[in-house]
Amino acid sequence: TEDEITLFERDMKEFWRQFKSVYGTEQINQTLALRDSCKGSIEALSEKWSKKLKEGDLMIDKIQEYNNEILQQNKCISEKEEHLTEIKAKLNQEEEQQKNLIHSIQELKEKLTKKMEIKSSKDKAAKEKVERLCKSKVLFEERLGLEIRRIHNEQLQFIFRHIDHKDPDKPYMFTLSINEQGDYEVTSCTPPLDCIAEFQLKVRETNNFSAFVANIRKAFTALSYK
């Protein structure tokens, strides 16, 4: 209310009157000047620290920015290291596969070389047997009335005549070859003989070819009398 305000103003004037009377006007002025000086120093200090705080905030933002860049670079480096690790593992795997492939090729070459050597050896043995048979041609023709012909696939055809007394020119024949194992093998016989398999087995065991041919001729002769 107005009375209260009036009363308050009156009390304030009385307070200042008594204060001045106790301390004096000069001391009050010094106190006010000191207050103003302190106030100015505080404002200057506040402004200085406010500026420092702003610079600190900028520095913190800059450091955070650098940290983010470092984190991003570290992430990229980590991804590249993982990629390099994958590439290295793949290269190691391909190198191992290449070694295995080279090893397999080497094994195949060695097996092929052995097979070729075996085949060459068998071919040589078969050729030698055929040559020996051809060298015996004259002997067989003179003593057994036998004609030997070389036909397709390195086979030899043995033709006997003068067996059937009723028909001396009637041919009795069988065809002989050397199989992959290097053994004698009768591929055909005309007329057929039941004992041809037995004769074939025996010549493989004894390697007595002259006896083999003689036995077949005897079997043909026996067959002509039936």
Provide CATH code, domain 145-225: 3.30.457.50
Kindly report whether the peptide bond that precedes residue 191 is cis, defined as omega within 30 degrees of 0. yes
Give the chain's mean pLDDT: 81
| Helix (H/G/I), strand (E/B), else coil: 215 | helix
Residue 135, pLDDT > 70, answer no
Band (3; pLDDT cuts 50, 70, 90): confident
Q: Residue 7's pLDDT is what? A: 79
Read off the tokens for 82.
Answer: 């993982």
Mean pLDDT of 58-82: 83
| Helix (H/G/I), strand (E/B), else coil: 4 | helix
Residue 38, pLDDT > 80, answer no
Percent of the chain past pLDDT 70, that is, above it, reads 79
- Strand locations in the chain (E): 146-151, 155-160, 172-178, 184-190
Q: Which residues contact 173 (CB under 8 A, 6 or more apart)?
A: 157, 158, 159, 160, 189, 190
Read off the tokens for 90.
Answer: 């793949």
Q: Residue 126's pLDDT is what? A: 62
Mean pLDDT of 22-42: 68
Q: Residue 138's pLDDT is what? A: 65
Residue 205, pLDDT > 70, answer yes
